[in-house]
Amino acid sequence: MTESGAGLPPVTGAWRAGDPPGARQWFTGPGALALEAGGALPEYTLAYETWGRLNADRSNAVLVEHALTGDSHAAGPAGPGQVSAGWWDELIGPGKAFDTDSLFVVAPNVLGGCQGSTGPSSPDPDGKPWGSRFPALTVRDQVAAEAALADALGIDRWAAVAGGSMGGMRALEWAVTLPGRVESVLVLASTARASAEQIAWAAPQLHAIRSDVAWHGGDYYTAAEGPHRGLGVARRIAHVTYRCEPELRTRFGNRAQEREDPLRGGRFAVESYLDHHADKLVRRFDAGSYAVLTESMNTHDVGRGRGGVAAALGRVTARTVVASVDSDRLYPPYQSDEIAAGTGGTAAVLNSPYGHDSFLIETEQIAGLVKTLLG
């Protein structure tokens, strides 16, 4: 494993025009997007991918929502324009849980992201990178952009909306904001509102990025170097919260990395593991998007302006399945229980040693939940 940050390009990995498109398609919004915090995004584009076919009465569409550093490539192999296989590849496809022989699956890249959708690395109306001028976004803003995409696709009502972590926030926000457009919803390892601890875990990540000398106040897109070191530190912090102590203890203990000696400046095996994940992220993700999306998660609260969380959850009319992970230290089960109780939905628990990341790993258990969801 290499040390994170070695030999990186000047600016971290936002998708750019001219890059191989993969299976991406693009939707451009019909006009300015009014933002919850005030003001508007004058124009915006969402990248998205689809699998299967929309049926004649447009009743078989499923929206799949990715997590913080995910993208629209939810299914399919790695290849040109796609650095890895789809993050839910085992769940989406012919004969799989989201059976594309009968369903039309849509996965958009979130607004504020960097894999083809408008974000801080994107050009503003004058053609300059948005950078520090990119507006603050909320989960509601992101859902509003996705609703415009659904309109453009001719989808009045989703048969299901599903997602985990940040994707679960958007799935739940869909069901609260637009209850008439969601028939069923699957929320995995997520919450109705960010907790103090989740915001606290995010704080040092944001400080790491913004303290990088290459951050340049967020306007680094034309600089010789981008803040990949700060982004790498942020990823190391985050990844610890994505797994759990028993797994790290079993896999690594306090063992030294092979051919390295911590008494002589070498790394522990667990440090090498974190370096590896940091290195992977900084080669494909933009620090500005990481900051924008992290702050949208921090401000997530379905009860804001709606009389509180209980009142907001009471708006949900969709058939709801909510699953926590028994080893999740970042989104503890009580948060999923609150959603299930408030929506009258089915509560489930993923039994896994992999912590929060289980919503990406435990695909057999999730397939069972999808079956329950879709009947």
Contacts for 250-257 with beta carbons within 8 Å, 24 or more apart?
250/353, 257/1
| The dihedral sign for the CA sequence 308, 314, 320, 326 | positive
Query: From the centroid of its chain, how far is CA 82?
Result: 16
Query: Which of the residues 66, 228, 239, 356 is marked catalytic?
Result: 356
Rounded Cα distance, 202 and 192, in Å = 17
Rounded Cα distance, 74 and 105, in Å = 10
- Residue 190 known to be catalytic: no
- Among 240, 295, 239, 283, smallest CA distance to 115 is for 283
Query: Which of the residues 328, 336, 352, 358 is marked catalytic?
Result: 328
- Residue 289 known to be catalytic: no
Rounded Cα distance, 238 and 274, in Å = 10
- Residue 117 known to be catalytic: no
- Amino acid of residue 72: S
- Among 70, 1, 48, 6, smallest CA distance to 242 is for 70
Rounded Cα distance, 181 and 26, in Å = 22
Query: Which of the residues 165, 184, 190, 296 is marked catalytic?
Result: 165
Give catalytic residue positions. 165, 328, 356
